[in-house]
Amino acid sequence: MLPALPLDEAGKYVAGAYLVFLALILIYVAIMASKLARIEREVVDLAEVVERKGGADGAGAGAAVAPPAALPATKEPAATKEPATTKEPATTKQPAATKQRAR
């Protein structure tokens, strides 16, 4: 049986082990934060695209500008079946927002 290490010597190992755990969590959170920042940037980009499209449509045909919230909603990903890359059929259902506008 090995003798127990004195506290001053054992402390650094215990601290090291718990720091490893903390570091893992922090690295993971940092990665998730960077992903979130990328998603935010993409949302801003999409909003700009929608605004540009809306502006062009309004200037041209005078059509109503669809706000970003009125974009066709994507299907719930959890319910989709393979293959995921299959194209959506041309006759998709009218999004709820469009229906409301029609009323």
Q: Indicate whether 71 belongs to the interface with another protein (CB under 8 A).
A: yes
Contacts of 69 (CB under 8 A, 6+ apart): 97
Q: Indicate whether 54 belongs to the interface with another protein (CB under 8 A).
A: no
Which 20-49 residues touch another protein, going by CB under 8 A? Answer: 20-21, 24-25, 28, 32, 35-36, 39, 42-43, 46, 49
Q: Indicate whether 78 belongs to the interface with another protein (CB under 8 A).
A: yes
Q: Which of 26, 37, 44, 53 binds another protein (CB under 8 A)?
A: 53
Q: Indicate whether 13 belongs to the interface with another protein (CB under 8 A).
A: yes
Q: Indicate whether 11 belongs to the interface with another protein (CB under 8 A).
A: yes
Verify cis geometry, omega within 30 degrees of 0, for the bond prior to 6.
no
Q: Indicate whether 101 belongs to the interface with another protein (CB under 8 A).
A: no
Gap between the Cα atoms of 103 and 97, Å rounded: 10
Gap between the Cα atoms of 29 and 31, Å rounded: 5
Q: Which of 60, 85, 89, 102 binds another protein (CB under 8 A)?
A: 85
Verify cis geometry, omega within 30 degrees of 0, for the bond prior to 83.
yes
Torsion of CA 29, 35, 39, 40, to 10 degrees: 50
Q: Indicate whether 89 belongs to the interface with another protein (CB under 8 A).
A: no
